Amino acid sequence: MSTATFSSICFNQGFLRKDEAKIRNQRVKPIVGGSFVLSAKCMQSSEKNKKEVHIGLLGASGYTGAEIVRLLANHPYFGITLMTADRKAGQSMGSVFPHLATQDLPTLVSVKDADFSNVDAVFCCLPHGTTQEIIKGLPSHLKIVDLSADFRLRDIAEYEEWYGQPHSATDLQKEAVYGLTEILREEVKSARLVANPGCYPTSIQLPLVPLIKAKLIDHGNIIIDAKSGVSGAGRGSKEANLYSEIAEGIYSYGVTRHRHAPEIEQGLSDAAQSRITVSFTPHLMPMIRGMQSTIYVEMSKGVTIEDLYQQLRKCYKDEEFVKVLDKGVVPRTHNIRGSNYCLMNIFSDRIPGRAIIISVIDNLVKGASGQALQNLNIMLGFPETTGLLYQPLFP
């Protein structure tokens, strides 16, 4: 497919402007139990730039926290009233992230000094382990989207095995809804606590779940080779992430045992309604952001590559953020940088009966903060694309 056709499918300026206009004029129905209803009054006040929903950002001084601040700068209804940090508590966000210095933001405070009385919803951008300790102490009126892995695995024993620590908030775990938006949107609508998926699991489940649900691929033979930019590891310095360790090379890690394997298998097994295991190897690439999952599958007996392609097209035809490209077009991380899009395609392997899927996302956006915002929009009854219609950065 030509570049022109590709742009017209995914990122046509006119299309996005039209869609944005539609969102801004939309009156949103209340969700059951939801606290926010966009009324004519609210729309007027938002036009005066008054933000209706007060957001707390826990772990604001990390990469995903900063990405949420960047996204919310263009959100007409969500304003940040509280931001927390650990080592950076007491500092201004502009001093921690100079690219955000033009925004009027609260000073970073320690979680123990945080006042949630004027907060409606929080994004929790903290390391796993720490997260559950902090979330279990939060007031119950808050809607929460947690970006860590603490509430993703339903099986507590599995969590404890893969994360090497006991789970101390098992009741909250039972309440949590897994927020793979395009697949579990209905569940997200009524959730109070959403466990935002990991970046690898997002890029992998989005193409595989519809194929598995339609019984088009063999469950026993799924091989995933995935690659991530270094920002996936967070901002805290680690020897393995030094420039001299990453540049000019590829690093395979978590070989045979990466903690995202059980999360991926949980989602695929739900889709199959039987236990699925996968071969999964992640790699660290000498790039800052972006993620590609290349997935090798065996088609079910009598199924063709056209069946797989049409199934993905059908499943995602009305989705803003998941695009199945025209036949033959190879998804590239260059085409999703800084955006909430997942681009995917499927190819017939040279070996009969096999197919190759390529799926790309920005690990910090669709793989973390973007999907988190998409989920909070849904939880509060706002159009899910609000504040997210960013064009990708290219080159």
User: Residue numbers of the site for ligand NDP (CB under 6 A)?
Assistant: 59-65, 85-88, 111, 125-128, 130, 147-148, 198-199, 231-232, 234-236, 363-364, 367-368
DSSP, collapsed to helix, strand or coil, labels residue 193 as: strand
Q: How far apart are CB 380 and ligand NDP at their closest, in Å?
A: 21
DSSP, collapsed to helix, strand or coil, labels residue 70 as: helix
- DSSP strand pairing (78-84 vs 177-178): unpaired
Note whether 210 binds ligand X2W by CB under 6 A: no
Give alpha helix (H) positions in the chain. 3-10, 13-25, 40-47, 63-72, 93-96, 130-135, 156-163, 170-175, 181-189, 199-213, 243-246, 261-272, 305-316, 370-379
- Is-contact 122 376, C-beta < 8 A? no
Question: What is the x/- site pattern for ligand X2W, positions 225-254, by CB under 6 A?
Answer: ---x---xx---------------------
Note whether 224 binds ligand X2W by CB under 6 A: no
Total residues contacting ligand X2W by CB under 6 A comes to: 10
Q: How far apart are CB 91 and ligand NDP at their closest, in Å?
A: 8
Q: Nearest Cα to 258, choosing from 278, 273, 230, 238?
A: 278
Q: Which is nearer to ligand X2W, 71 or 284 (CB)?
A: 284
Six-digit token string for 93: 């966000």
Six-digit token string for 134: 């902090």
Assess whether 10 carries a catalytic annotation. no
Note whether 148 binds ligand X2W by CB under 6 A: yes
Q: Which is nearer to ligand X2W, 43 or 156 (CB)?
A: 156
284 binds, among ligand X2W, ligand NDP, none (CB under 5 to 8 A by kind): ligand X2W
Six-digit token string for 14: 């006119």
Note whether 179 binds ligand X2W by CB under 6 A: no
Q: Which is nearer to ligand NDP, 234 or 286 (CB)?
A: 234
Alpha-carbon span 320 to 298, nearest angstrom: 29
Q: How far apart are CB 90 and ligand NDP at their closest, in Å?
A: 10
Q: How far apart are CB 156 and ligand X2W at their closest, in Å?
A: 17
- Is-contact 391 235, C-beta < 8 A? no
Query: What residues does 17 pair with on adjacent strands?
Result: none
DSSP, collapsed to helix, strand or coil, labels residue 252 as: strand
Q: Which is nearer to ligand NDP, 85 or 284 (CB)?
A: 85
Q: Nearest Cα to 59, choosing from 82, 95, 78, 83?
A: 83
Residues making up the chain, counted from first to last:
395
Note whether 282 binds ligand X2W by CB under 6 A: yes
- Which residue in 124, 125, 199, 315 is the catalytic one? 199
Residues 283-302 close enough to bind ligand X2W by CB under 6 A: 284
Residues 21-50 close enough to bind ligand X2W by CB under 6 A: none
Alpha-carbon span 96 to 73, nearest angstrom: 17
Q: Which is nearer to ligand NDP, 181 or 231 (CB)?
A: 231
Q: How far apart are CB 203 and ligand NDP at their closest, in Å?
A: 11
Q: Which is nearer to ligand X2W, 128 or 313 (CB)?
A: 128
| Active site positions, annotated | 199
Residues that bind ligand X2W (CB under 6 A): 128, 148-149, 198-199, 228, 232-233, 282, 284
